[in-house]
Structure 1
Amino acid sequence: MKKTPAELTVMKSLAFLAVVFQSALLYIMNHHSPHAEEAIMMGMLFHFVKFSAPVFVFLVGFHMAQQKEAIHYRRYVSHKWTELMIPYIVWSFVYFILFSSHLHASEVMKQLVLGEAAPHLWYVVMIIQFHLLILIIVPFFRWLDQKKYWKSFIIVSSIIYIGFITFISPIVQSESYIHYVDRTFLAYFFYFCLGGVAAYTLPSWRKFVIQAIPLNTFLFLSLFIVVGYELFISQSIFSIDLTEITYLKPSMVLYVTSEIFLLYGLSITIVQTKSRLYTALRFIGRYTYGAYIGHVFFLHMFAPMIPTTMYSMLQAVILFLITTIASIGICYMVHATPLSLLLIGQTREHRTLSIPTISKLKKGIPS
């Protein structure tokens, strides 16, 4: 497999931070009843960081397109089971205890299959489906590359996807089992295809993303106004429900796609600066999956400690910062223990102190 471009690590970290901020905003909205003007601001910010799941799907498409060697399907699925599903199952049981400790076995199985143990776990159920289809996806990508059909492919894919989303948009708002289409790979396949196109046409992709920034910025701001307007006309400003904001409507597809382009350009810029921000995002990028599935636990642990007398927006920001630091920090510590595979899906990292470091420590010890 080719080396992962540095900007993808930055994008992954930004997507993780967006998830945590969404969770913080949702918690404050649902538990602290902010004033109407604060609720409007939080709704706008929620839209602004709504790119997280599509970006993760984009990155999976990119990485899968980088598969150049022969695929050993059983070995690949076993690796993904260890990396993704074992931590998913472990954390699901943590959330069963945290949110609903008196579930019957049938209800537990249903929530495991559908990713309902916590609000963010649906993503794992959805993304594993792409990995299970690797024997179809990778040969198809290779065929597209041989025929140089990438432009036609992405145009046709976008038309099909917009049509599909327009069709299922009313369904995902229903109460029937059909609305679970929102956690199938079909509901996000366009972002996956976009990631595949980016991987195979990387130099042209980077050039296009950078050149499109001026026009795309204007498009993004226009779409930001559109999706915000749709939110506020569909709900009362005194009872805004952020859980009703869905990826699966045409305006959000256009908005999120525009934001992915901007984020890619921003990520390239961050990489080029080689600043402390880049160093921090690289560090966060090492633990995004474990921190992603565990962050809701830490959020609920620290949320009651935040004073409710301050502005709701400030509460959300503080909760976001504490949850991010705790999630990444715990993952870093767990990575050095035998629990690493169970909790964050990574093999144990054996850390040792260098000889110079040990020497320095000894100097500080009184003899």
Structure 2
Amino acid sequence: MPEQASPITAGEPQATRRRKPRLPAIEYIRGIAMMGVIAIHVGSQYLMNQTANLHLIALLEVVSRFSVPIFFFISAFGLFYNLDIHEPLNYKAFMKKRFRTVLIPYIVWSLFYLLHDGIFYRMGFPDPLHLLSILFFGTAKYQLYFLVILIWFYLLMPLWIAIVRCAGKVSLTLLFIAQIAFDYWSSFSVPFNTFVYGLPDHSWLKPFLMYRLNYWVVHYVFIFVLGGYLAVHIKEFQTFMREHRRAITVFFWATLLWLLAYYYQLIYETGYTALEAINTAHQLSPAGLFYTLSSCIFFFTIFTYQKYPGWLNPVLHQLGRHSYFAYLVHPFFITYAAMALQKSGHLMTAPITIVFYFVILGLSMLAAVLCRRLGEHIPILNEWTIGVYPRRKK
């Protein structure tokens, strides 16, 4: 997401308070998460190969499962980092800014994909009632639901402030346990899912339950609250990361191995297909929630204390700076790259899939850079696509 008006980094500092020091980790995590989301969607293309390499699928579809939840983590972190939770929130001003940075781009990109896909797939444009349903559930394109959930998080900001204000280690632990229980019920409860899928297609309730992952913020409440809590207690968090780097690293790898073991168990012991396995070993499974938690802490630690080559920082900066646009545009390039591959008669083998991934990443980043530069001359372009507005002259 963009660094100024981003829904990830923008906080609500008081006019009389100085902004806290910039945290490169937030920007770098944005870039890594964007790369993970693209990996998941490229993996969906690779799954069409009936003889797909199960290990490459694990890399694309399982290892990258932290991507969406970690966006919510850094969204909350950016909001709370420069927010005084003990002062009244100017809710009107807060929501006005969020609508400019998220709602307008969401509507613009939704309309873009609806127009594009209507022409490309010869489906036409939806009628007004269907359009409202699409915008409410975030189904214009498969990556846009993230912005819908983010908007709901913004709308409920006074609630999150109240929770973070009262949160502590015990309450966060209890919230994490409740998160595991709720997500398990939502994802794996046979009676509940049987009820949902058994509803008649004309039932008004069915879409509200079928698309619950697209707007029920409760699926990601813990990780959002955790991001806000750690931002408010940044000094203690930095001390924790510095003193427990090794334990954080071990925790990360242990949870990743747990999630991968679950994936392989589903395939080799339970007899699931690769598609069934990744739809089970996902970020809302118990193993996935622990992996999400460990990833948030691990990447923040790595990017805060930077135990890696310094030359990577400019690369991570560019990935983070242009992650918002790249995240929103990459399905467009996947559509045409997949069509070109199909017309060439090539099957998505493992080597081709790896090249395909980097082509999509490269095209998405190139489009983001070009659009950002063009938007400096045509401000409305940046305003409508990524919610970045020209700086006001003092």
Q: Same fold (TM over 0.5)?
A: yes
Between the aligned partners of 2:280 and 2:327, the Cα distance in structure 1 is 21
Q: Which residue pairs with 1:180 in the alignment?
A: 211
Q: Which residue pairs with 1:107 in the alignment?
A: 130
Q: Is the 8 A contact 1:87 1:290 kept in 2?
A: no
Aligned residue among 139, 144, 167 for 1:116: 139
Q: Which residue pairs with 1:360 in the alignment?
A: none
RMSD over equivalenced CA pairs, Å? 2.7
Shift in CA distance, 310/166, structure 1 to aligned 2, threshold 3 Å: closer
Match status 1:74 vs 2:103: no
User: How far is the alpha carbon of 1:20 from its aligned partner?
Assistant: 1.0
SS in 1 for 2:65: coil
Aligned residue among 127, 133, 152 for 2:156: 133
User: How far is the alpha carbon of 1:289 from its aligned partner?
Assistant: 1.6
Q: Which residue pairs with 2:335 in the alignment?
A: 300
Name the aligned partner's letter for residue 142 of structure 2.
Answer: P
TM-score under structure 1 length normalisation: 0.83
Deviation per CA, 1:130-174, whole angstroms, max 9, x where unpaired?
A: 111122222442344xxxxx2112111112111212222234684
Shift in CA distance, 206/241, structure 1 to aligned 2, threshold 3 Å: closer
SS in 2 for 1:335: helix
Deviation per CA, 1:304-333, whole angstroms, max 9, x where unpaired?
A: 334553652222222221222222222222
Q: Is the 8 A contact 2:266 2:272 kept in 1?
A: no
Q: Which residue pairs with 1:353 in the alignment?
A: none
Q: Is the 8 A contact 1:21 1:317 kept in 2?
A: no
What is the total number of aligned residue pairs between the two structures?
341
SS in 2 for 1:119: coil
Aligned residue among 314, 319, 327 for 2:351: 314
Q: Which residue pairs with 2:386 in the alignment?
A: 344
Q: Is the 8 A contact 1:114 1:122 kept in 2?
A: yes
Match status 1:255 vs 2:297: no
SS in 2 for 1:51: helix
Q: Is the 8 A contact 2:61 2:278 kept in 1?
A: yes
Q: Which residue pairs with 1:41 in the alignment?
A: 56
Between the aligned partners of 1:127 and 1:346, the Cα distance in structure 2 is 17
Shift in CA distance, 286/349, structure 1 to aligned 2, threshold 3 Å: farther
Q: Which residue pairs with 1:365 in the alignment?
A: none
Shift in CA distance, 119/211, structure 1 to aligned 2, threshold 3 Å: same
Q: Is the 8 A contact 2:137 2:145 kept in 1?
A: yes
Q: Which residue pairs with 1:54 in the alignment?
A: 69
Q: Which residue pairs with 2:33 in the alignment?
A: 15
Match status 1:192 vs 2:207: no
User: How far is the alpha carbon of 1:273 from its aligned partner?
Assistant: 4.1
Between the aligned partners of 1:108 and 1:252, the Cα distance in structure 2 is 33
TM-score under structure 2 length normalisation: 0.78
User: How far is the alpha carbon of 1:51 from its aligned partner?
Assistant: 0.8
User: How far is the alpha carbon of 1:260 from its aligned partner?
Assistant: 2.8
Q: Is the 8 A contact 1:9 1:285 kept in 2?
A: yes
Between the aligned partners of 2:274 and 2:285, the Cα distance in structure 1 is 24
Identity over aligned pairs, percent: 19
Q: Which residue pairs with 1:29 in the alignment?
A: 47
User: How far is the alpha carbon of 1:335 from its aligned partner?
Assistant: 2.0
Between the aligned partners of 1:345 and 1:61, the Cα distance in structure 2 is 18
Aligned residue among 349, 361, 368 for 1:324: 361
Q: Is the 8 A contact 2:281 2:287 kept in 1?
A: no
Matches within 5 A, 1:207-286: 207=242, 210-212=245-247, 213-230=249-266, 236-237=272-273, 242=278, 246-269=282-305, 271-273=306-308, 275-286=310-321
Q: Which residue pairs with 1:84 in the alignment?
A: 102
Between the aligned partners of 1:130 and 1:238, the Cα distance in structure 2 is 33
Q: Which residue pairs with 2:182 in the alignment?
A: 164
SS in 1 for 2:139: coil
Q: Is the 8 A contact 2:137 2:148 kept in 1?
A: yes
